[in-house]
Amino acid sequence: MREFAKKVVFRYTRFGAPRYPYNVEPLQLATLVFELERVRNLRGAILEVGVARGMTTRFLCEHLVRSGQTSERLYALDTFESFNEKDVDFEVAGRGKRKGELAAFGYNDFGTWRKNFRDFPFVTPLKADCSTFEYRSIGPIKLAFLDVDLYRPTKEALRGITDQLCEGGVILVDDVKADRYNWDGAYQAYVEFCSENGIEPELLGEKCGLIRRGTDATVRRLVSKSA
């Protein structure tokens, strides 16, 4: 009976259709795995800033478990509520956005999120504002994935994370694309930060920017080819 029900669902409804559950590109996910392997022998933490319900976090966890890297430290930093009002106000007053169109992630809950990751003891959720968080408290950092959409938190987080980035470490910034309507703040923040600090922007796929500490021509060639 169960197999019959599955047959009906697959053949006659859309519920059986395969879906892509991530909001980041396949190339970004592939690069995260590549970079995790590259930095696995470096001393430092893995950091994800802006985790929403934890889809990318779970992806990282699966790789760390399956590759025997459960001794790593993976920090998941978020407000676990929604965008901060001051960041939204800046988008409206300083970047001409509409406040009503910036409402997102209000469904999240710190306790529920933490419970959902109880099977991964190497994950530490941090309920905090990424603009003011003391990154030195978890540094050094060897890999960071920054996905907070808006200009102000992206710019401030880049300052804090870069200060703690170890030699050979890397930051991946999501939503680095100029024409993403209300979510182009990360693009402006990334481009400005690179310009202000003499960093050559390194773009990956359609909407990701990278920042590295140290030079590794082999790694740069591989990532460039994949893009």
Q: How would DSSP label each residue in 37-61?
A: HHTTTSSSEEEEE--TTSHHHHHHH
Is pTM beyond 0.95 here?
A: no
Q: How confident is the model at residue 183 (pLDDT cuts 50, 70, 90)?
A: low
Query: Domain-by-domain residue ranges, the chain?
Result: 24-226
pLDDT tens digits, 74-122: 999 999 987 777 867 657 766 766 666 666 556 779 999 999 999 999 9
Q: Comparing 8-17, 105-114, 133-142, which segment has the lowest mean pLDDT? A: 8-17
Nearest to 145 by CA among 204, 197, 214: 204
CB 161 within 8 A of CB 182: no
> What mean pLDDT is predicted for residues 28-42?
97
Q: How confident is the model at residue 12 (pLDDT cuts 50, 70, 90)?
A: low
To which CATH superfamily is domain 24-226 assigned?
A: Vaccinia Virus protein VP39 (3.40.50.150)
Residues near 15 by beta carbon (within 8 Å), at least 6 away in sequence: 9
Tokens at 194, concatenated? 């690179």
CB 227 within 8 A of CB 27: yes
**Block residue for tokens 């890999």:** 143
Q: Comparing 30-34, 38-42, 214-218, which segment has the lowest mean pLDDT? A: 214-218
